[in-house]
Structure 1
Amino acid sequence: MESQSGDPGSPESYFKPPVFFGAIGLIALLIAFAVFDTHEAEARFGAVQSFATHNFGWLFVLTVDILLVCCGYFAFTRAGTLRLGGPRARPKYSVLSWFAMLFSAGMGIGLLFYGVAEPVMHFSNPPSSAFSNPDAVLPRGLAGNAQHAMGLTFLHWGLHAWAIYAIIGLALAYAAYNRKLPLSIGAFVKDAFPHMPHALVNLIDILAITATVCGVAASLGLGASQINAGLNLLMGAPDTGLAKAITIAVVTGLATLSVALGLDAGIRRLSEVNMALAVTLAAFVFILGPTVFLLDGFVQNIGYYFQRFIYLSTWTETYSPGDWRSNWTIFYYAWWISWSPFVGIFIARISYGRTIREFIGGVLLVPSLFTFAWMTIFGDSALHIEMFGAGGLSSAVNASMPDALFAFLSHYPLSQIASGLAVIIVATFFVTSADSGALVTAMIASGGHSNAGLAHRVTWAVAIGALAGALLWSGGLNALQTAAIVTGLPFSIVLLLMAIGLIRMVAHELRKRDEAELERMEREAAEATTAAAEAAAIAQAE
């Protein structure tokens, strides 16, 4: 039950003690376990990750595929004509600002971390079982491996990832703007399934907060590792756990300042800045790199992705048991799902006035195309160096993934300046993810109200930074992966329930619209009949 302390419009009146204390308690226990029993935590994290990925990988794959199909339903049926906020609603943010905010919140740090590392890793260590035709497996290092590396990268970062964000964001936006509910996952589930016990609704909000904090913490851990790698290259900063902890502390402080400024003054402007910087870095690589090779690769990569779309979308490594899918595809899907409460609520909040079709197109297609372009520019440029240039990137990436981007930029002129720009971009994406995550978790803990108090927002910003530092301390990247997978697993069920609930809500509104239209037509027909009868009576009288 919500606390009734404070005035009706005050942040205190929105405070939900069961949700806040339940979530903060779980996160505090995880931090304590990671910090005070590091060796045991590392072992347990590995065991839990192995259990989840090997026994429930099929659930992650099926969930993400179903959500993508749901996006198609909303985009290509008359449901797409409905407008978030009603027929007269109009967007608050320009298209450019909207894209910048949703993209920065959705994938910023990951693109910098994996843009070079992932294609090179798949190229040098290809999963042969993922080829649809075993006879097509080529020796490592040839064109087949390079093409397949880009196809797998597109699978992980393309339509499937954004479908998760699109469905949860659309569900929350529709419930908030069309059904006048709080911008809350618990409120949506309670409205869609009225007989669900209130305690279970609170549990879903606790799970949403925990998933958000763990998902964002995983990203911040990756960002801290990459910032530290860049500072080591540029300034000789030590590559130690303490140095990464200091990086997390400094950037978390900046995120706290940004979240205190609010959505328009802080997050929106910072999102636009880091998008501009990211585009600048991409343009630098595109112009000074193998430009024609990249243009050819972009077209061919998209063709390859769609040619093998169905197969790779349903590939579960059933007949060639191994750990590749668990370490890559399942981790990504779990990571996106654990991010989804945060990204979904954030996208919903900035999407008032969009039609459902415009929302799906904007959230699903535009970021996917930008991601494909980014991965082609950095991934194919790295593969070009490996296949036709000086080489050496495969060994560098396999030795240290955080160093991958900087090892790649060392092959370009002005590499020190480019590396410095990359560090700044990672830091700004870091801040954007942390402050957006803090804002959203504060909203969930306050029942979906956007004006949760400053103290709540600061609390969650600190909690995210503390968890990222603790996980890096206890188990490095493996611990970060485990946090995302474990929280993403139960939340996949919540996402499926939300998809079902959204379809039912939209179908109900369409039926009401049809009934209203039918009543209007019947009324107009009756009025026309009456007018004709009156006209006939007048004519007869004359």
Structure 2
Amino acid sequence: MTDSNDNRETDYEVGQDNVQPFGLDIHNPVFAVSAITIVAFVFFSLVFKEQAGEFFGWLRPTLTSNFDWVFMIACNIFVVFCLFLIVTPYGSIRLGGDNARPDYSYMGWFSMLFAAGMGIGLVFWGVAEPISHYGSSLGGTAVGDAGVRTDWAPLGAAAGDPEAARDLAMAATIFHWGLHPWAIYAVVALALAFFSFNRGLPLTMRSVFYPLFGEATWGPLGHIIDVLAVFATIFGLATSLGLGATQALAGLNYLFGVPVTDGMKVLLIIAITLFALVSVVAGLDKGVKRLSEANMILAAALLILVLLVGPTLLIISGFFSGLGEYIVRLPALSNWVGREDTNFMQGWTTFYWAWWISWSPFVGMFIARISRGRTIREFIVCVLLIPTLVGALWMSVFGGAALDQVMSGAGEALSAAGLELKMFTMFEAFPMTSLLSFVGIVLVVVFFVTSSDSGSLVIDTITAGGKTDAPTAQRVFWCVLEGAIAIVLLLGGGLGALQAAAIATGFPFAIVLVLMCLSIFIGLVNERRRK
């Protein structure tokens, strides 16, 4: 790519495809196609609620059973590609050029990327997932005494060994929140940051594919890529927002007796969306950054409280044993050939990979916006390896405390509780139950807000052709639409509908991300040659 091409691409960012009707600054037709399609989806899902519920119920198992191999192969490629960049000379390339320096401190940077990347999910699944893996058979085989699986084919759990079952449950949980999801985010974020900061291209998904498609990137092909990114982002966000609302309302019911009804879920989503609007209007530095830092402090406080009041030594030892088991079992967990545990691979892993992929345009672009000045090696270590360790620690603390209750025979209520109630049920065995539950609710709500506001900023950037300073009204529009979709999906089919939407948008984008790896490599090779 020549310097003249770089100038051409920079000119495109403020070219004639950007129009300003009613004071807006939008990239036509990406904004129009995305907005009209999503609004139509909301309308018809509300009007034909029963048919929508049936469709979502059919969609998820269809995709996970027929295309699980696509997700498994793609996500393995992302992990290998990121590790390759760490150990090669390409890792020394600095995002923004040799003289660029970071815009944010490590604390501010890490707080924002982590809060945007996995906040609500960690709180929702921190207790629920380890318990689910421990107490059910992944391959559909019988469940033994005390709810311990008697077989975990093909991973080879020792029959009747509670300790082995616990370590395998933690390994499976860490697998879903470790290297693979963060590699997805790292690929998208690196691509956007490199082609924007080093090559002068607009900060939008189409720019990443210039080395592959050339001038066609600015035509209909580029429009399709950006529209897919908007769909993936908004439906991936809606999935997480729906999970967060469900858990927050369960906590409010547990503490204050607030009724768990569809109407209350809708009111809660509306209330939290209003909070997100305030942060969106405040902007990245004043709103999103400060809220993310406050949320990380709150999350750390809850983590430390659970660690101290729970079985501390068991949790600490479980962190190392679970992490070790994860490393040992990683090849088997990542394999897609000859798997007998299809319930686990399709019901859990495929859904997770699709969910992370659907989040990747949002999280990737958000991380890219705050990562100027980092070297590629520093970037990948901080986006891939450190969050994996922090996620493993979080799951080990909450999951380890919960598993201790189940294994000791005191966790019958915990095992029987719904997914959204498991964390609050676990707190019943600890001192300061009400305080822990209240902090948990606040944490879910604030993670909800940080995901919604940062997601609105990202979608607005895509639909404005890569601009990061588009009018506030556009950010408000997307923030409101995110809340509306979360409401529609919850009313149209509950948790299953949310998961189906994430998988449906994640599937086509998995192919896009594989091509993105190739484009990044070509861009880095050209960068080295230019130097």
Asked whether the equivalents of residues 386 and 393 of structure 1 are also in contact (C-alpha less than 8 Å), the reply is no
Alpha-carbon distance change, 135 to 236 in structure 1, aligned in 2, over 3 angstroms: closer
Structure 2 letter corresponding to 1:420: F
Distance 1:321 1:119, change over 3 A: closer
Map 1:28-47 onto structure 2 (within 5 A). Answer: 28-47=39-58
Contact 1:67/1:163 (<8 A) preserved:
yes
Sort the Cα spacing of 1:287 and 1:319 in 2 relative to 1 into closer, same or farther, 3 A. Answer: closer
Q: Which whole-Å CA distance do the structure 1 matches of 2:156 and 2:38 have between them?
A: 48
Check the 8 A contact 2:157/2:165 in 1, yes or no: no
Q: Which range moved further: 200-209 or 121-130?
A: 121-130
| Aligned match of 1:396 | 416
- Report percent identity of matched pairs: 43
Structure 1 residue 28: deviation in Å? 1.6
How many Å separate the matches in 2 of 1:321 and 1:390?
29
Find the counterpart in structure 2 of residue 387 from structure 1: 407
Partner of 1:336: 356
Shift of 1:138: 2.0
Give the letter for the 1:246 counterpart: L
| Aligned equivalents of 1:134, 1:235: Cα separation in 2 | 43
- Superposed, 1:313-332 pairs within 5 Å as 313-315=334-336, 318-320=338-340, 322-332=342-352
Selected match of 2:181 from 148, 161, 167:
161
- Residue 447 (structure 2) pairs with residue 436 (structure 1): no
Counterparts of 1:334 and 1:309, CA distance in 2? 19
Query: In 2, Cα distance between the equivalents of 1:251 and 1:507?
Result: 45
The secondary structure found in structure 1 opposite 2:411 is coil
Cα separation, partners in 2 of 1:91 and 1:11, compared to 1, 3 Å: farther
Residue identity opposite 1:231 in structure 2: L
- Residue 310 in structure 1 maps to residue 326 in structure 2: no
SS of equivalent residue, structure 1 residue 88: coil
> Which residue matches 1:69?
80
Confirm or deny that 1:108 pairs with 2:119.
yes
TM-aligned CA deviation for residue 313 of structure 1? 1.1
Amino acid in structure 2 at the alignment position of 1:156: H
Q: Report how far residue 30 of structure 1 moved.
A: 2.1
Distance 1:6 1:135 in 2: 61
Is the 2:351–2:503 Cα contact (8 Å) retained in structure 1?
Answer: yes
- Alpha-carbon distance in 2 for matches of 1:50, 1:375: 27
C-alpha separation in 2, matches of 1:49 and 1:491: 16
Q: Which residue of 1 aligns with 2:398?
A: 378
Please say if 1:502 is aligned against 2:520: yes
Asked if the contact 2:414/2:426 (under 8 Å) is kept, the reply is: no
| Separation in 2, partners of 1:168, 1:369 | 20
Q: 1:148 aligns with which of 140, 156, 168?
A: 168
The whole-number CA distance in structure 2 between the counterparts of 1:124 and 1:159 is 25
Query: 1:109 & 1:26 partners in 2: Cα distance?
Result: 27
Q: Write the letter of the residue equivalent to 1:178.
A: N
Confirm or deny that 1:422 pairs with 2:402. no
C-alpha separation in 2, matches of 1:286 and 1:405: 14
Determine which of 96, 101, 107 is the counterpart of 1:85: 96
1:319 deviation in Å?
Answer: 4.6
Q: Which residue is equivalent to 2:138? A: 127
- Structure 2 equivalent of residue 223 of structure 1: 244
> Following the alignment from structure 1 to structure 2, what is the Cα–Cα distance between the partners of residues 121 and 321?
14
Q: Give 1:74 shift.
A: 1.0
The equivalences for 1:476-487 within 5 A come to 476-487=494-505
- Read off the aligned partner of 1:33 and give its amino acid letter: F
Aligned mate of 2:376, from 343, 356, 359? 356
SS in 2 for 1:70: helix
1:452 aligns with 2:470: yes
Asked whether 1:287 is paired with 2:298, we answer no
Give 1:406 deviation, angstroms: 0.5
8 Å CA contact 1:2, 1:15 repeated in 2? no
Aligned residue among 425, 428, 436 for 1:407: 425
Q: Which residue of 1 aligns with 2:293?
A: 272
2:201 equivalent among 156, 178, 181:
181
Counterpart residue identity of residue 470, structure 2? A
Listed as ranges, the matches of 1:257-268 within 5 Å are 257-268=278-289
1:491 to 485, 505, 509: 509
TM-score by length of 1: 0.90
Q: Distance in 2 between matches of 1:134 and 1:15?
A: 51
Shift of 1:189: 1.8
Q: SS state of the match for residue 404, structure 1?
A: helix
**Structure 1: how far apart are the matches of 2:155 and 2:328?**
16
Give the TM-score normalised by the residue count of structure 2. 0.92
Counterpart of 1:194 in 2: which secondary structure?
helix
Q: Deviations over 1:498-518 (max 9, x none)?
A: 1110000001111222xxxxx
Contact kept? 1:286, 1:294, Cα under 8 Å:
yes
- Are the structure 2 counterparts of residues 447 and 379 from structure 1 closer, same or farther at C-alpha, using a change threshold of 3 Å? same
Q: What's the secondary structure of 1:90's corresponding residue? A: coil
Conserved? CA contact 1:64–1:333, under 8 Å:
yes
Counterpart CA distance in 1 for 2:19 and 2:414 is 59
Q: 1:499 to 1:4 in 2, by over 3 A?
A: closer
What is the aligned partner in structure 2 of residue 533 from structure 1?
Answer: none
Q: Give the Å deviation of 1:126.
A: 2.8
CA distance in 1, matches of 2:430, 2:124: 18
Render the CA deviation track for 1:87-120: whole Å, top value 9, x for unaligned: 1100010001111000000000000000000000
Q: Residue 323 of structure 1 aligns to a residue in which SS?
A: helix
CA contact (8 A) 2:18 2:464 kept: no
CA change 1:21–1:375 in 2 (3 A) is: same
Gaps of 5+ in 2: 1-14, 141-150
Structure-1 separation of matches of 2:214 and 2:203: 17
CA contact (8 A) 2:206 2:226 kept: yes
**Counterpart among 22, 34, 51 of residue 62 in structure 2:** 51
Q: CA deviation at 1:341?
A: 0.1
- Whether 2:319 is the aligned partner of 1:298: answer yes
Over 3 Å counting, the alpha-carbon distance change for 1:227 and 1:503 in structure 2 is same
Instruction: Provide closer, same or farther for how the CA distance between residues 287 and 477 of structure 1 changes in structure 2, counting only shifts above 3 A.
Output: same
1:302 is displaced (CA, Å) by 1.0
Give per-residue Cα distances to partners, 1:361-420, cap 9 Å, x unaligned.
0000111111000000000110001102512155334xx111111111111111011101
Could you say if the C-alpha distance between residues 4 and 70 of structure 1 is closer, same or farther in structure 2, counting changes exceeding 3 Å?
closer
* 1:207 lines up with 2:233 in the alignment: no
Offset at 1:4? 5.0
**Distance in 1 between residues matched to 2:182 and 2:156, nearest whole Å:** 33
Matched length:
506
Contact 1:187 1:447 in 2 (8 A): no
Name which one, 1 or 2, has greater alpha-carbon Rg: 1
Structure 1 residues 503-542: aligned runs within 5 Å: 503-513=521-531
- Measured on the aligned residues, the alpha-carbon RMSD in Å equals 1.8
Partner of 2:8: none
Q: Does 1:19 align with 2:30?
A: yes
Structure 1 distance, partners of 2:388, 2:18, is: 44
Shift of 1:145: 1.9
Post-superposition CA distance 1:328-375 (Å, at most 9, x none): 100100000000000000000000000000000000011111100000
Q: How far off is 1:442 after superposition?
A: 0.3
